[in-house]
Amino acid sequence: MNQEIGSIMGFFYKVFPVKIYELEVPTDFVVPSMYFPSPLVFDGNDSNQTYMKTYNLSIKLFHHDSKQAYREAENIAEKINGNRNVIPLLDIKGLETGDYIRFTRVEVRIGDRGVANIILHWDSRYYYHQPEIPAIQYLEFESGVK
């Protein structure tokens, strides 16, 4: 799991502290709970030094009925929207790094019976791998006046 997905899980857990499933949902899963699948990822060019990845993550919230699931999903979406579509980026220990994830879109949908989906969209930029070139230590040049 990357740092952004972990940060999203941490934010969701603060708002709705229930069991979280990552790999797959077992047949005898706990209700209420949440499921975080792997996101859809699209990549593309961004600048001369960076490339961009667009993420699309559909989180399932399970509850006793669809209205309760939708209510909890809407509450989480409202917390994100109320924070200008930004959540803090967390480090491996769960502490805020000072950086943020900005969502371009947050959707809430009712799914199957007892399920609601929150669909998050965001872009992230990453630096290309650059070969290390030693810095110039000494530069000498001659100049003359014409």
The tens digit of pLDDT for each residue in 45-104 reads 888 888 999 999 999 999 999 999 999 999 999 999 999 999 999 999 989 999 999 999
Per-residue model confidence (pLDDT) at position 1 = 63
Q: Is the pLDDT of residue 129 over 80?
A: yes
Tell me 65's DSSP state.
Answer: S
Domain edges within the chain: 3-127
Is 79:86 a contact under the CB 8 Å cutoff? no
Secondary-structure class of domain 3-127 per CATH: alpha beta
Convert 101-138 to b/e letters by CB count within 10 Å (16 or more is b). Answer: bebeebebeebeebbbbbebbbebeeeeeeeeeeeeee
Q: Is the pLDDT of residue 142 over 80?
A: no
Instruction: Give the whole-number percent of the chain exceeding pLDDT 90.
Output: 71
Per-residue model confidence (pLDDT) at position 110 = 94
Per-residue model confidence (pLDDT) at position 101 = 96
Per-residue model confidence (pLDDT) at position 29 = 92
Q: Is the pLDDT of residue 146 over 70?
A: no
Burial class, 8, CB count within 10 angstroms (exposed 0-12 / middle 13-18 / buried 19+): buried
Q: What is the Cα–Cα distance from 11 to 99, expressed in whole angstroms?
A: 14
